[in-house]
């Protein structure tokens, strides 16, 4: 168990300083974000398939790619902290 001993802990994760372990609230938010973006990606896939206008399809595809990037980034963060990623 680790205790907070300095105010710098509250500033969050800074890539230029020493790494600290994720706390449970951060892990919960990351899990929720991964699950949310997974659902969003599935919805956008369906919307892309039924959209008739190519400009609208392109917007859906961009959104899907953004969701993939967010999922990848957060999954990597969980893996670096030896935390299992939520299953899809």
User: Is residue 87, in this structure, part of any structural domain at all?
Assistant: no
- Reported pTM: 0.73
User: Is residue 33, in this structure, part of any structural domain at all?
Assistant: yes
User: Is residue 60, in this structure, part of any structural domain at all?
Assistant: yes
* pLDDT band at residue 88 under the 50/70/90 scheme: low
Other beta carbons within 10 angstroms of residue 42's beta carbon come to 13
Residue 49 lies in domain: 21-80
Structural domain total, the chain: 1
Closest CA to 67 of 37, 47, 46: 37
CA 27 from chain centre, in angstroms, equals: 10
pLDDT digits (tens, 9 = 90+) for 24-50: 899 999 999 999 999 999 999 999 999
Q: Is the pLDDT of residue 62 over 90?
A: yes
User: Is residue 53, in this structure, part of any structural domain at all?
Assistant: yes
User: Is residue 35, in this structure, part of any structural domain at all?
Assistant: yes
């Amino acid at each position: 168990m680790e205790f907070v001993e300095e105010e710098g802990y509250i500033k969050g994760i800074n890539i230029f300083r020493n790494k600290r372990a994720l706390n449970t609230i951060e892990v919960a938010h990351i899990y929720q974000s991964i699950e949310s973006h997974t659902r969003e990606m599935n919805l956008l896939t369906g919307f892309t398939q039924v959209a008739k206008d190519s400009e609208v399809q392109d917007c859906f595809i961009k959104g899907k790619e953004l969701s993939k990037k967010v999922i990848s980034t957060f999954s990597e963060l969980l893996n670096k902290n030896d935390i299992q990623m939520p299953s899809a």
